Copies of this chain bind each other. A is one copy, B any other.
Amino acid sequence: MSPTSDIVRPSKELIEGLKHISSATATGELSRLGVRNAQIIGPRSWTPGAVAVGPALTLQFMPKREDLYDVNEYADPERQLHRHVLYHTQPGDIVVVDARGDLGSGVFGEMMLTYFKGRGGAGVVIDGCIRDYTHAQHLDLPMWLKGVTPNFHTQTNIVPFAVNVPIACNNVLVMPGDIIVADDDGVVVVPIKLAPQLLLTAGEHAEWEEFSRMRLSEGGDLRKYYPLSEGARAEYEAWRREQES
């Protein structure tokens, strides 16, 4: 329905698997896979405790140029690209926006976000702002933003320019269809072709971590319990048997 392209979505299994990985685990594993910068630095969680894992729909803003952007023509909603990126929404999708870090230009308002949430959108990541936060904060929609503003972007110096194209969110390249893993620590971009490898490592969490955490919280020796030393293994296994019984 939209003249803009849709994305290729990863399998449900892949997404479901990655939901067990925190952003901290993701970025650590990606580092081992050779990706130095996987965190989009700048946007932070405006919905404490929220987590979002899903494929990226992308929206690119560019500086406004009055010869290319005719306000009147643009008054036709069907020409507004920030609407088009939302038209592609399927349940679980995450909209990622390069809004050029602008702190005075709201990308989406309450109505757009309500629509996105209604369509099953899983989260919003913006290197920039939303507006109508007064209402949008109650939508139960996970959001990672640089800030909020009363301004709508048509008032400002940036305009939506392209949908589902490669974008740069501050220091990170995001390809349409990459997988976003976001939580209270921030936003990580998982390159789609590395996602299966990341999933493999997802199950390999250290079983002794719970034990070690408990001992450390009781004042235990860091050298003994983290990482678990040989000397503490017997103690750990005794504890574990006890837990299981």
Contact = CB atoms under 8 A, between A and B. Distances in A.
B166 A62 contact: yes
A103 B66 contact: no
A42 to B, nearest CB: 8
Nearest to A132: B24
B185 A132 contact: yes
A142 to B, nearest CB: 13
Nearest to A51: B134
Specify how many copies of this chain sit in the oligomer.
6
Contacts of A78: 223
Contacts of A27: 150-152, 155
Interface string A203-220: 000000100110011111
A35 interface: yes
Contacts of A39: 104, 149-151
B41 A149 contact: yes
A119 interface: yes
Contacts of A38: 151
Contacts of A166: 62, 161
Given A27-B151, A137-B184, A150-B24, A34 B66 contact: yes
